[in-house]
Amino acid sequence: MPFPFFLRLAYIGTDFHGWQIQTHARSVQAELWKALRAFDPEAPMPQGTGRTDAGVHAKAQGVLVRMTRPWEPYRLLAALNAHLSADVRVMEGFPVDEAFWPRHHAVAKRYVYRLNEGPAEDPFERDRSWHVFGAAPLDLGIMARAAEALVGKHDFSSFRHQECAAKSPLRTLYKIDVQVHGAAVDLVFEGNRFLMHQVRIMTGTLVDIGKGRIARDAIPGILAARDRSKAGFTAPPHGLCLEVVWYESCWSIGPPCPWGEGVYEASPQV
């Protein structure tokens, strides 16, 4: 009989080609599975809550592993971390009901995209933020007002990669915040789920608006066009981090979702 555990993973995505296992590239899923099989050779492949792109970071990737024998949670955490590289760590682990499935029972996520507007690229932030340089600073007020048009349930066809395999482009954004921390600017996105590159395309579009390259009132028209070419460019991956995943409260995993528990449809890229 399997012994299912929920794990919360944190990783720096710089040297990974994303979460999903790949044949010829390093991935977080493959790294975790290799560590798992070092002491439980029959354990099946771990299952994550969603994919992250190459170069994208995570503080809260939710993962289901099925052990072939019982474990004390702290011993399992220690055993896995002893076999993992320094850029990925299991931060939390505990038994979970065998019916739990991370992709299907998540109800919302928070992604944070970090920009940096300093006069020079901060080497300590080089792999974790996008340095946006210009003669004039970004107009953050205009960006925040423009972002309001993205909040709500929309067809986000204009904000997804052409190879996105999600069946539906409909997504619901609950909140977008623009937060300033000295020279750093965090764009905080909370929604029920996300399309392939959606957050990065929304970020690139908002930066173009903040620089005056796209009109401040353009987003409703971009959404209505349902045409990727109408939105801004795709922001680089290294500024993006998956910070929070909320699950249905019945599984007792983390705090309840502040936005309620509407139906979450798993998609191939979230």
53 catalytic, yes or no?
Answer: yes
Residues 6+ apart with CB under 8 A from 176: 144, 147, 148, 150, 151, 187, 188, 189, 190, 202
Residues 6+ apart with CB under 8 A from 243: 59, 60, 110, 111, 112
Catalytic pick among 15, 40, 53, 217: 53
Distance CA 23, CA 172 (A): 33
Beta bridge partners of 112: 188, 241
Tokens for 13, please give them: 């995505």
Active site residues: 53
